Amino acid sequence: MFEYMGKEIFAEFGLPVPKGRMVSNPDEATQVAREIGGSVVIKSQVLSGKRGKAGGIKFVDNPEGARAAAEELFGMTIQGLPVNILLVEEKLQIDQELYLSITIDAAAKKPVLIASSHGGMDIEDVAEEYIIKKYIDVELGMQGFIANDVVRRMGIALNTPQAKELVKIIVTLYKVFTQKDADLVEINPLVISGEKVIAADAKVTIDDEALYRQRDLPLVEDRTVVEQAAHELGLSFVELDGDIGVMANGAGITMGTLDTIVYYGGRPANFLDAGGGTGEEGTAKALELILSRNPKSIVINIFGGITRCDDVARAFASVKSKVGIPVPVVIRLVGTNQEAGRAILKEVGIEAYDFMQDAIKKAVELAK
C-alpha cells in the first residue's frame, strides 16, 4: 500500500497526519501547494523504502517550486518503479523524530510493538539500547497502561502534552493494526512538532489472507503479471531466472525439487506449487504459465496423496494432445492411483519416473 493510502486510513481512525493530498500531475501539485500555503514537501509514491536516498522527496517554498519539483519527480523511476503519484504535504517543523511500529512476531505468536526515540532512519540501523520492544497479549489488547509505559521507556516525560498525544497514538495504531488485519503498521518518522505529534510517514501492509473481509482497502499489487495470473488460478508461482520449468504439488516438495535441480547443476525457471488437487483446466493453465518462461525442459514432480495420479496424467495427456508442448517434459508420478496414471502417460509417449532424483537429473540433462 502507498504511503498516501496508509495516511488516509490513519486519518480515518483519527491519527494525526500532515495536511496534504495525493496528486497525479504537476497542475494538481501546484494547486495543493497553494491550498496548503508556505513550504511543502513532495513525496514520490512508490513501494520502495529508499525514496529519500534516491531523490524521490523534495522540499519547496512556494507553488511554482512545487510545479517544478513535480515535473521532475513524475519523470523519475526509483529502483525500477515509475513515479505515477505524488503526495504533497505541509512541511513540518521537526523537533524530534520517533519510530513506532506494530508487527507480528511469528516465534512469539503475538503482535510486537517496537518504539524508539531515534526515528527517521531504518530501524535496523538504530542502536539496540534505543529500541523498545513490547509483546502484546491479544486477549488483553492494547491498554492505556501499556502505551504509558512504552512512552516512559522512550524517555519522554509523561506530564508533557507530547506524551499524552503519543499514548493516544499508540492505542489508536493498535486499533488500525487489528481492525485492518495488518501484518505491519509503521510510522517512521513520527514527528514531535511543538506540542503536536504527527505521523510524517505511514506504512501499512495487510495480511493477504484477510483481504476477503477488508474489501474496502485500496490494493497495490507487488506481483509480476505472470505471478498475478497464477494467484488468480489459486496456484503459487514465483519467477526465477533459470531454464528448467517446475511443477509440483505442495510448497515443501516444490522447494525440494528446486533444491535438487540446483544440486545437479541445473537452474529452475520458476517455483510452481499446484496445490493438493489440480484438475485438467488447472494443469493446462499451470503448464501455460511454465511455458511463458520459455524453459528448455520441464519437470513435473507429483507425490500423490490427495492428488490422484490418474487425474494428473489425464490432465497432462489432454493438454499435450490439444495444445502441444514444445519442450521435453520429465514426469515423476507416484502415490494414489499411480498405475492408472502411468498407463495414461504411456499412451502419449511418456515414461514416468519412480524417484524424484532420477527425473530431475534427466530434466537437467535435457536443458543442457
> Is residue 82 reached through a cis peptide bond, with omega within 30 degrees of 0 on the bond before it?
no
Is 178 an interacting residue with respect to other proteins (CB under 8 A)?
Answer: yes
Residue among 68 and 334 whose Cβ is closer to other proteins:
334
In degrees to the nearest 10, what's the CA dihedral of 42, 45, 49, 50? Answer: -50
Q: How far apart are CA 315 and CA 309, in angstroms?
A: 10
CB-nearer residue toward other proteins: 29 or 182: 182
Q: Based on the shown chain and the rule CB under 8 A, indicate whether residue 109 belongs to the binding site for other proteins.
A: yes
Binding segment for other proteins among 56-64, 184-192, 284-292, 354-362 (CB under 8 A)? 354-362
- Count of residues interacting with other proteins (CB under 8 A): 50
Between the alpha carbon of residue 136 and those of residues 61, 126, 146, 185, 308, the distances in Å are 43, 22, 9, 14, 44
d(CA 80, CA 74): 13
CA proximity to 117, closest of 142, 100, 102: 100
Query: Which ranges constitute the DSSP H helices of 323-368?
Result: 338-347, 356-367
Among 99, 165, 174, 353, which one carries the catalytic annotation?
Answer: 99
| Cell numbers for 245 | 520449468
Chosen residue from 112, 226, 229, 238 binding other proteins by CB under 8 A: 238
User: Using the rule CB under 8 A, which residue among 142, 356, 364, 367 binds other proteins?
Assistant: 356
Distance (Å, whole) CA 88 – CA 66: 9
| Selected catalytic residue, list 3, 186, 227, 353 | 186
Among 11, 94, 138, 323, binds other proteins (CB under 8 A): 138
Residue 174 annotated as catalytic = no
Is 35 designated active site? Answer: no
Q: How many helices (H) and strands (E) does the chain have?
A: 11, 17
306 binds other proteins (CB under 8 A): yes
Residues with catalytic roles: 99, 186
Site residues, other proteins (CB under 8 A): 104, 106-107, 109-111, 124, 137-139, 178, 181, 183, 207-210, 212-213, 236, 238, 240, 248-256, 258-263, 268, 271, 273, 303-306, 334-336, 355-357
